Amino acid sequence: MNRLIHQTTGVFCAAMLTGAAVSAGAGGPEEAAPTPAPLLSTEISGSDLMFLTDAAPQMALLAELSDLAKKNAVTPEVQSEAATTWREQTDAAARLKALAGRVHVPVAAEPDDAGKQVLDALGKAKGMKFDKLFLDAQGDAQDQLEASLESGASSSDGEIKAFAQAGLGTLKQERERVRKLGL
C-alpha cells in the first residue's frame, strides 16, 4: 500500500511540476499541455521589485567608481573617501543581494550600460582632473541611488524599508564627507 501511495504521489508531483493535467479522464501526454512557469516568482509589490532591481546596479556603480578612485586619485583625501565609499557600497550591495534573495528576485551585480560608460570615461582621466570627475560622477550616482532608496523607504515590507532608510543615512554621510573635502 505504501509503495502504491509513494508511486502515485511521485507521478502527481511530476505532473504538478510540469504543469500537466492530472485527472482520471486525461489522455496521453500529447493531450496534456504544460503550463508555462512564471518568469519571476515573487511575492513583493511592483515598487519593491523596482527598488531592488534599480538599486543594485546603482550601488555597483558607486562601488566600482570608488574602487577606481582608490587606485587613480591623486589626493590622499579623495583616495580615503573612495576607500570608505567602496567599503560602504560593497557591504550594502551584499545586504541588498541577500534581501532580494529572500524574496527570490535576481539583482545585477554590476553597473548598467550607462554606468559602464561613466566608468570608461573616468578611467581615461588623469591627475586632478580624475579627482574632480570622480567626485562629480560619485555625486551623480548618489543622486540616482537616493531616488531609489527614497522609493524603498516607503515600502510596506519592513526589511526593505529599514534597508533603504539605512542607505539614505549612509548617502548623507558620504555627501557630508565630500563636502568637507572642499574640492
Domain that holds residue 103: 46-181
Confidence (pLDDT) at 182:
75
Confidence (pLDDT) at 90:
95
CATH at 158: 1.20.1260.10
Q: Which of left, alpha, beta for 127 (phi over 0: left; psi -120 to 50: alpha)?
A: left
171 three-state secondary structure: helix
Confidence (pLDDT) at 26:
46
Rounded-to-10 torsion of CA 159, 47, 35, 15: 10
10 & 53 share domain = no
For residue range 14-37, list pLDDT tens digits in order.
333 334 333 444 444 455 555 544
33 & 104 share domain = no
- Three-state SS string across 123-165, please? HCCCHHHHHHHHHHHHHHHHHHHHHHHHHHHCCCCHHHHHHHH
120 & 74 share domain = yes
The residues of the chain scoring below 50 in pLDDT are: 1-29, 36-38, 41
Give the number of other Cβ atoms within 10 Å of residue 183's Cβ. Answer: 14
Confidence (pLDDT) at 45:
82
Q: Name the domain count of the chain.
A: 2
Length of the chain: 183
Confidence (pLDDT) at 44:
81
Judged on CB neighbours under 10 Å (0-12, 13-18, 19+), 44 is buried
77 & 108 share domain = yes
Q: Do residues 160 and 48 lie in contact, with contact meaning Cβ atoms separated by under 8 Å?
A: yes
